[in-house]
Amino acid sequence: MRRNVVIIGAIILVIGVVLFLVIGPLLAVPTLSKLNLENITHPSIVRQLSVGESLSLGPFKGGEGIIFSFNDSADVPLEVKTTGVTQVRTINDTFVAIALPTASSNITLTNNYTAPITVYYSEPSVLPSLGAFLGGIVGVLLGIVLLIVGVIVLIVGFVLRPKA
């Protein structure tokens, strides 16, 4: 057993546990709690869309989290597009779209149905900074890596024979 290697492994292991169990969740949880129903406003703006017509919202900066709600007369979600990732969920019979544009761009709602529809939508809101949330994820992932490295160094420290 090499005492110095075991001590270094134990220190790395403790740092990994702290990052994984404390620092990462502390950074991520406050941001997640802000992504609740208070960010969603009721769809109050009305617009008619013919077949294939699009409604453009924005422009928005890249990296901003955007949230808005909508309904339509067909009662099925419209196609929502931006330069990045979009997700549409149903909450209390209202479609809620969250978009994360990767570059400065608009968000478009497209009537991808075979008949004209009436769209009711809310003014898009910019979500609280996702930087802390991403920092929390990085903290958790770094904690996992340090846990693994710490265990490996501990095992190596126990297995190696002492210096003569």
Q: 108 or 67, which is more confident? A: 108
**pLDDT average, residue stretch 140-157:** 90
Distance of alpha carbon 47 from alpha carbon 125, whole angstroms: 19
Better-predicted residue by pLDDT, 32 or 83: 83
Average pLDDT of the chain to the nearest whole number = 82
pTM exceeds 0.85, yes or no: no
Class of domain 36-127 as given by CATH: mainly beta
Strand duo 85-91 + 94-100: pairing: antiparallel
Q: Which pLDDT does position 108 carry in this prediction?
A: 93
Which of 110, 85, 111 lies closest to 98 in space, CA to CA? 85
* Per-residue pLDDT at 53 exceeds 90: yes
Report, as an integer, the average pLDDT of 48-70: 88
Task: Tell me the CA distances in angstroms from 141 to 29, 63, 116, 145, one per residue in order.
Answer: 15, 21, 48, 6
* SS3 label, residue 65: coil
Q: Is the pLDDT of residue 32 over 80?
A: no
Query: Which stretches within the chain are classed as H helix?
Result: 3-18, 24-34, 131-159
pLDDT at 110: 93
Residue 50: pLDDT over 80: yes
Cβ contact 128:134 at 8 Å: no
Q: How far apart are CA 48 and CA 50, in angstroms?
A: 7
Stretch 117-144: mean pLDDT: 78
Q: Which residue has the higher pLDDT, 163 or 142?
A: 142
∠ at Cα 113 (110, 117), nearest 5°?
A: 75
Q: Give residue 72's pLDDT.
A: 86
> Could you state, in order of their start, the residue ranges of all structural domains in the chain?
3-33+132-159, 36-127
Q: Which helix (H) or strand (E) holds 97?
A: strand 94-100
Does residue 34 surpass a pLDDT of 70?
no
CA distance 87 to 131: 19
